[in-house]
A and B are shown apart, each in its own frame.
Chain A
């Protein structure tokens, strides 16, 4: 059953340039949905529209089958965890967690039970009498989550809850959030982050949002899907370049020929780029069409291939991390520098010419407009 539905949702401030355009989205009961995107793409704004803290300029929001556009935040059965915790500084932790329930006139014994249960789950029972200023960042974040849990909402809303924490604590709290969501698995969750690692780790579904000109031309939503869907089957150059670190390598090229499931590309280059024949299984455009070949750093295989798809570039720099190495390659004219991720220690040295093969199955080909060419149906 769909828990949250957004239909053609728009947001404009003062009738000027839109912030959110044309968002259509379904989030199922119990689903953990992550809003991901660059700064300014409107992911927090979209979350706040679901919460009722921002008005929806156009379109509809349904939660549990009920239209919520004009419903006050307290009546939407949502609970929010803010980026900077938003704990009431003059109230004890117990009072912070109980405040919403007192406003809702819940029975005091029930309030006590819910707060104690949530405190036990979050391991903060011993802190309930303290004020927020006496706690660390991680403890405050737990209390903020506890305040959401006691409301027993249908939807949890997280607005970059881990961005104020240090790296180690962020990893720990990420697993805590995942664990808590499993415990409250009938509630949906919407989680806003700009960190793709968090998104990939936590999400059942990622909604990748665009900003700027791309948003104005194509709408706010770049792609919706599972993390692996977006990673392995990006819909366009923006999605392909946003997910993955280091980002995908892009090589501008021209289609030479396409026949029998094979496509031959002439890579751009001043002194003549490579001609690559790929059995990519994609629906290729006509010969002479401009395309972009995308290949992730971890898919560039060191050493010449026994096939016909390989590139040779001069090594600019090598970084060794023990488990793997990054080899930075000079791009040709019109081409960005390339990065190859090599397992273990790479023997390449700056100044060397190194060859990397391009496995057909791991290629992505994008048309002149930047959209991924569809794969041939088996």
Chain B
């Protein structure tokens, strides 16, 4: 047992840490609180009361109005596009990561570097070519138009994360599987994929969050309301509720709610996934 007592932070240091933490909490929470409270005010209440005042009475009518005016169509499209995209991202990136991390073939390292370099390509320079390609193949203004670009732009970082995960898996497990008669695909499916669970979850959650909020491709590649995704709901509702601030903020709240819930459940997984590669397993 160590005879050296653990050093406790000095009181002044602790006060500073608490002050900074509370300050950061205020910075992140106050805007959310403002959105939520204002969305529950009536229009009159919004203009009459101070900005940070709580609602005098809870008004759910804006939420009802938003939900009845096509919100579920946007939600359905987002769920479909993001769900299918994330599934494809996980499958393709897991297989690519395994091949790059564990299989020996020529140009393995340059190929990995090239794929990872894809992370630095700005999305906006690909907008016009992708728009033209999407129109040419007849997918313009369909939910399917988004899936290709979403998967393609998410693969570099996903492959990077999963490749690092898979490199941590001991080589002896692979060799034991070889001796048990497994080929590369079986080793991937029965050994590496299950053991990469934290990494796969990280990739899925990270991409789901990013794609849920994706705006520019959705704006460029879809036009009719029936095919648009949630980030465009605010854009569309702006015309309809241009002077109704509580209703606008109700749209913002409803759009953010699925992500907040997902993050609340998945946050520990994301942190663990990001950190796992830094620890010796």
Report Cα–Cα, A104/B186, bound state, in Å.
Answer: 13
- Given the complex, which residues of B lie within 8 Å of A51, measured CB to CB? 175, 179
CB pair A84–B172 under 8 Å, yes or no, is yes
Report Cα–Cα, A52/B175, bound state, in Å.
Answer: 10
Report Cα–Cα, A90/B180, bound state, in Å.
Answer: 16
Q: What are 16 pairs between A and B in contact, CB < 8 Å?
A: A51-B179, A53-B175, A73-B178, A73-B179, A74-B179, A74-B180, A79-B179, A82-B172, A83-B172, A86-B170, A86-B176, A88-B173, A89-B195, A90-B195, A100-B180, A103-B182
Q: Which of B177, B179, B191 has the most CB of A within 10 A?
A: B179
Question: Who on chain A is nearest to B182 by CB?
Answer: A103
CB pair B194–A90 under 8 Å, yes or no, is yes
CB pair A80–B170 under 8 Å, yes or no, is no
- Given the complex, which residues of A lie within 8 Å of B181, measured CB to CB? 74, 100, 103-104
Q: Check A78 for interface membership: any CB of B closer than 8 A.
A: yes
Size class of the A contact interface (CB-based, 8 Å): 20 to 34
Given contacts A103-B181, A103-B182, A104-B181, contact A82 B175 (CB under 8 A): yes
Q: Given contacts A51-B179, A72-B178, could you give 5 more A-B pairs where the C-beta distance is less than 8 Å?
A: A86-B173, A87-B176, A88-B191, A103-B181, A104-B181
- Given the complex, which residues of A lie within 8 Å of B195, measured CB to CB? 89-90
Report Cα–Cα, A3/B233, bound state, in Å.
Answer: 74
CB pair A80–B179 under 8 Å, yes or no, is yes
List CB contacts (< 8 Å) of B156-215 with chain A.
170, 172-173, 175-182, 186, 190-191, 194-195
Q: Check A242 for interface membership: any CB of B closer than 8 A.
A: no
Cβ of A333 to closest chain B Cβ, rounded Å: 48
Binding site for B on A (CB under 8 A): 51-53, 72-74, 78-80, 82-84, 86-90, 99-100, 103-104, 147
- Given the complex, which residues of B lie within 8 Å of A72, measured CB to CB? 178
CB pair A84–B170 under 8 Å, yes or no, is yes
Cβ of A159 to closest chain B Cβ, rounded Å: 9
In-complex Cβ contact of B176 among A52, A78, A80, A90 (8 A): A80
Report Cα–Cα, A104/B190, bound state, in Å.
Answer: 15
Cβ of A118 to closest chain B Cβ, rounded Å: 15
CB pair A88–B172 under 8 Å, yes or no, is no
Question: Who on chain B is nearest to A100 by CB?
Answer: B180
- Given the complex, which residues of B lie within 8 Å of A103, measured CB to CB? 180-182, 186
Given contacts A90-B194, A90-B195, contact A100 B170 (CB under 8 A): no
CB pair B175–A86 under 8 Å, yes or no, is yes
Cβ of B192 to closest chain A Cβ, rounded Å: 11
- Given the complex, which residues of B lie within 8 Å of A83, measured CB to CB? 172
Cβ of B65 to closest chain A Cβ, rounded Å: 49
Report Cα–Cα, A89/B176, bound state, in Å.
Answer: 12
- Given the complex, which residues of B lie within 8 Å of A100, measured CB to CB? 179-181
Question: Who on chain A is nearest to B175 by CB?
Answer: A53
Report Cα–Cα, A53/B173, bound state, in Å.
Answer: 12
Q: Which of B175, B176, B181, B190 has the most CB of A within 10 A?
A: B176
- Given the complex, which residues of B lie within 8 Å of A147, measured CB to CB? 176
Cβ of B98 to closest chain A Cβ, rounded Å: 16
- Given the complex, which residues of B lie within 8 Å of A82, measured CB to CB? 172, 175-176
Q: Which of A52, A90, A104 has the most CB of B within 10 A?
A: A90
- Given the complex, which residues of B lie within 8 Å of A80, measured CB to CB? 175-176, 179
Cβ of A337 to closest chain B Cβ, rounded Å: 38
Cβ of B272 to closest chain A Cβ, rounded Å: 16
Cβ of A114 to closest chain B Cβ, rounded Å: 14
Question: Who on chain B is nearest to A98 by CB?
Answer: B180
CB pair B180–A53 under 8 Å, yes or no, is no
Report Cα–Cα, A51/B174, bound state, in Å.
Answer: 14
Report Cα–Cα, A99/B176, bound state, in Å.
Answer: 10
- Given the complex, which residues of A lie within 8 Å of B173, measured CB to CB? 86, 88
Cβ of B269 to closest chain A Cβ, rounded Å: 17
CB pair B179–A99 under 8 Å, yes or no, is no
- Given the complex, which residues of A lie within 8 Å of B175, measured CB to CB? 51, 53, 73, 80, 82, 86
